[in-house]
Amino acid sequence: MADIIPNNLLIIIVMLVIITGLSAIARFFNIGFQTYGPYIVWFVALALFYFILPKSVGDIFKKL
C-alpha cells in the first residue's frame, strides 16, 4: 500500500504537467480549446481508467 500512493501521486503530477504544457503550447499557437480539448479529455479518461480498473484480471474468458 505504501508504494501505491507515490506511484499515483507521480501519475497525477505528470498528468497535470502534460495538461498545463499542452494548454500553454496551444495558447501560444492560438489553437482553440475545441480543437485540442477532446485529446486532453481522452488523456484524463485513460488516467481515470488506470486508477479505477483492477491491476489483475481474472480468467473468465478462459473458462468459456
| pLDDT band per the 50, 70, 90 thresholds, residue 64 | low
pLDDT value at position 21? 95
pLDDT value at position 58? 76
Cα end-to-end distance, the chain, whole Å: 34
The mean predicted confidence, pLDDT, of the chain is: 86
What is the number of residues in the chain?
Answer: 64
Tell me the per-residue pLDDT of 26-49, one tens digit each, with 9 for 90 and over: 999 999 999 999 999 999 999 889
pLDDT value at position 11? 86
Long-range pairs for 46-52: beta carbons < 8 A, 24 or more residues apart: 47/11, 47/12, 47/15, 50/11, 51/8, 51/11
Q: In sequence order, which residues have a C-beta less than 8 Å from that of residue 35 and are 6 or more positions away?
A: 26
| pLDDT band per the 50, 70, 90 thresholds, residue 1 | low
